[in-house]
């Protein structure tokens, strides 16, 4: 390893450092919102459990509506301007919420509309971001870059969740939305500072191809490749269960466990701290036991602890919620680190935007369904029963991985066997 490679990416790569800062700031604000929005709905607007589920679903619904064409559009454009536009739109929209509250115009309906619009911006930002990262990092740096980004995102989410309740108590849940708006402004400034410029797209080359055909390319890649297909189906199923319980966990903690609203962010943050641990151990575990085996360890072995979450009770019983959530978060983040590195090396760069959109359409498309499912189950049954049903789905989803090529392999490949000019190497070499 060269002396330069011994120095971490954050020290030696200015553009990555700016991207990292912007993404970390955005994750912090989003985590504040994930607690503040339901708290606004419950404590300020007296929303029902079903309305809270609809609100949570609205932020993810755009993946179902425009997720597929967004990938084709992003592949036709330079990715950085797309990210800049999305960050600016999100900053403006989240700033509207406190203003609406001051003028007496705040309602659950307005929160849903803002969640839909910011969710649309997130579709374009995330699709462009996933395709942009490999363009500024050398292949040998991508595993470290993914680990750092996922790890810092988990730390930012932890800080955001922990401070959301405190901000809500001190300034009010509505004013907590200023924190999220401000973080998108930070993200915007960081993106503006990146020096790397992508080459202009050859518009003459992309116009003849129909948008529907480009969308189809991404879907065919997902459908035909056994590795991508398996990971996509698993993620879609897992997200359905994860969002099912996460969409009602605030109501569960307040109404069933009896936790004060100001303490909700703290306990959810303690559970989310597992994400930092997951990012830290992902590369080490993958290098030691293989990327496929590590994926099973994180996505199945750690997921079993989700069954502790619905057993939570007041006092010391809150530890069960924190421990269960800690292991779930660790498993999800570690699995995402391995998957991101695999996908960026495995997929041809010119198809990465479409692949990201196609997999995200399926992965994130189940999130609003999970949120609605959680809200519906919380209405039909008591909240504890609803939490039992949804958390049980987290480890069950990993059976898709067990009965697939991943369950029989040590490592994920780094290139399709049929791709000319590429040697199929162990993914452990990359991770």
Residue indicated by tokens 């790569």: 13
Side-chain-side CA neighbours of residue 95 (13 Å): 11
**Residue range 91-97: mean pLDDT, rounded:** 91
CA distance 243 to 373: 9
How confident is the model at residue 298, as a pLDDT?
A: 95
Q: Which two three-digit tokens encode residue 416?
A: 């399709």
How confident is the model at residue 413, as a pLDDT?
A: 86
Q: Which two three-digit tokens encode residue 358?
A: 């196609």
Out of 79-83, 158-162, 319-323, 368-372, least confident range: 158-162
CA distance 36 to 23: 20
How confident is the model at residue 426, as a pLDDT?
A: 39
Give the pLDDT band of residue 429 (cuts 50, 70, 90). very low
CA distance 413 to 307: 32
46: left (phi over 0), alpha (psi -120 to 50) or beta: left
How confident is the model at residue 165, as a pLDDT?
A: 62
User: Contact, 414 vs 424, CB < 8 A?
Assistant: yes
Q: Which is nearest to 53 in space by CA: 39, 63, 38?
A: 38
Q: pLDDT tens for residues 284-336?
A: 898 899 999 999 999 999 999 999 999 998 888 899 999 999 999 899 989 98
| Start-to-end Cα distance in the chain | 15
Residues in a beta bridge with 426? 413
Which of 214-223, 272-281, 315-324, 356-365 has the highest average model confidence (pLDDT)? 315-324
The set of residues, in sequence order, having a beta carbon less than 8 Å from that of 115 and lying 6+ positions away, is 37, 55, 58, 59
**For residue 122, is pLDDT > 70?**
yes
Q: Which two three-digit tokens encode residue 363?
A: 């992965």
C-alpha distances in Å from residue 164, one per residue of 170, 189, 243, 266: 10, 23, 19, 8
Q: Which two three-digit tokens encode residue 226?
A: 């056994």
How confident is the model at residue 213, as a pLDDT?
A: 66
How confident is the model at residue 161, as a pLDDT?
A: 63
How confident is the model at residue 322, as a pLDDT?
A: 92
Q: What is the largest CA-CA distance in the chain?
A: 65
How confident is the model at residue 319, as a pLDDT?
A: 93
Q: Which two three-digit tokens encode residue 17?
A: 């450092």
Out of 3-7, 126-130, 209-213, 248-252, least confident range: 3-7
Q: pLDDT tens for residues 186-205?
A: 989 998 888 877 766 555 44
Radius of gyration of the chain (CA): 21
CA distance 101 to 107: 8
**Residue range 121-134: mean pLDDT, rounded:** 82
Number of neighbours of residue 287 by Cβ within 10 angstroms: 15
**Residue range 29-48: mean pLDDT, rounded:** 79
**Residue range 351-361: mean pLDDT, rounded:** 72
153 or 263, which is more confident: 263
50 or 388, which is more confident: 388
Number of neighbours of residue 302 by Cβ within 10 angstroms: 23
How confident is the model at residue 267, as a pLDDT?
A: 83
Give the pLDDT band of residue 417 (cuts 50, 70, 90). low
**Residue range 346-362: mean pLDDT, rounded:** 73
Residue indicated by tokens 């830290």: 280
Side-chain-side CA neighbours of residue 348 (13 Å): 15
Domains, the chain, ordered by start: 11-430 (1.20.1250.20)
What is residue 297's DSSP assignment?
A: I
How confident is the model at residue 10, as a pLDDT?
A: 61
Q: Which is nearest to 390 in space by CA: 373, 406, 367, 407?
A: 373
217 or 59, which is more confident: 59
How confident is the model at residue 304, as a pLDDT?
A: 95
How confident is the model at residue 296, as a pLDDT?
A: 94
Q: Which is nearest to 8 in space by CA: 98, 126, 143?
A: 143
43 or 418, which is more confident: 43
**pTM score, two decimals?**
0.69
Alpha helices in 252-351 (DSSP H): 261-272, 274-289, 291-296, 318-346
Percent of the chain with pLDDT over 90: 25
Out of 56-60, 143-147, 166-170, 246-250, least confident range: 166-170
Q: Which two three-digit tokens encode residue 314?
A: 């007041």
**For residue 71, is pLDDT > 90?**
no
Helix and strand numbers, DSSP H then E, in the chain: 21, 0
CA distance 81 to 129: 11
CA 405 to chain centre: 25
Q: Which two three-digit tokens encode residue 429?
A: 């070499």
The string of DSSP letters for 159-171 reads: HHHHHHHHHHHHH
């Amino acid at each position: 390893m060269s002396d330069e490679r011994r120095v971490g990416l954050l020290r030696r790569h200015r553009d990555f450092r700016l991207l990292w800062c912007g993404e970390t700031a955005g994750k912090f604000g989003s985590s504040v919102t994930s607690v503040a929005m339901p708290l606004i709905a419950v404590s300020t607007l007296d929303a029902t459990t079903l309305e809270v589920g609809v609100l949570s679903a609205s932020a993810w619904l755009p993946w179902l509506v425009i997720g597929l064409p967004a990938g084709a559009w992003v592949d036709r454009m330079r990715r950085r301007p797309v990210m800049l536009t999305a960050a600016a739109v999100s900053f403006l929209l989240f700033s509207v919420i406190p203003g609406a509250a001051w003028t007496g115009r705040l309602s659950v309906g307005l929160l849903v509309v803002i969640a839909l619009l910011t969710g649309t911006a997130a579709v374009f930002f995330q699709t462009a971001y996933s395709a942009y990262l490999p363009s500024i990092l050398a292949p040998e740096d991508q595993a470290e870059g993914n680990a750092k980004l996922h790890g810092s995102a988990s730390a930012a989410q932890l800080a955001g969740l922990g401070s959301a309740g405190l901000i809500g108590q001190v300034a009010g849940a509505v004013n907590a939305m200023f924190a999220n708006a401000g973080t998108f402004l930070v993200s915007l400034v960081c993106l503006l500072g990146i020096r790397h410029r992508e080459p202009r797209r050859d518009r003459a080359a992309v116009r003849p191809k129909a948008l529907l055909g480009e969308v189809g390319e991404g879907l065919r890649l997902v459908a035909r490749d056994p590795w991508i297909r398996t990971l996509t189906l698993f993620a879609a199923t897992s997200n359905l269960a994860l969002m099912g319980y996460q969409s009602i966990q605030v109501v569960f903690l307040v109404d069933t466990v009896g936790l004060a609203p100001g303490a909700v962010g703290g306990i959810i943050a303690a559970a989310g701290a597992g994400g930092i641990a997951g990012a830290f151990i992902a590369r080490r575990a993958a290098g030691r036991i293989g990327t496929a085996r590590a994926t099973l360890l994180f996505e199945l072995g750690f997921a079993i602890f989700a069954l502790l979450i619905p057993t939570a009770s007041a006092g010391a019983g809150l530890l069960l919620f924190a421990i269960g959530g800690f292991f779930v978060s660790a498993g999800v983040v570690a699995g995402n680190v391995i998957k991101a590195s695999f996908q960026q090396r495995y997929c041809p760069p010119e198809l990465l935007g479409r692949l990201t959109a196609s997999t995200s359409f399926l992965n994130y498309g189940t999130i609003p369904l999970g949120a609605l499912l959680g809200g519906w189950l919380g209405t039909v049954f008591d909240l504890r029963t609803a939490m039992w049903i949804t958390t049980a789905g987290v480890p069950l989803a990993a059976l898709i991985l067990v009965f697939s090529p991943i369950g029989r392999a040590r490592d994920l490949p780094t290139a399709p066997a049929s791709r000319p000019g590429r040697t199929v190497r162990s993914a452990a070499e990359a991770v």
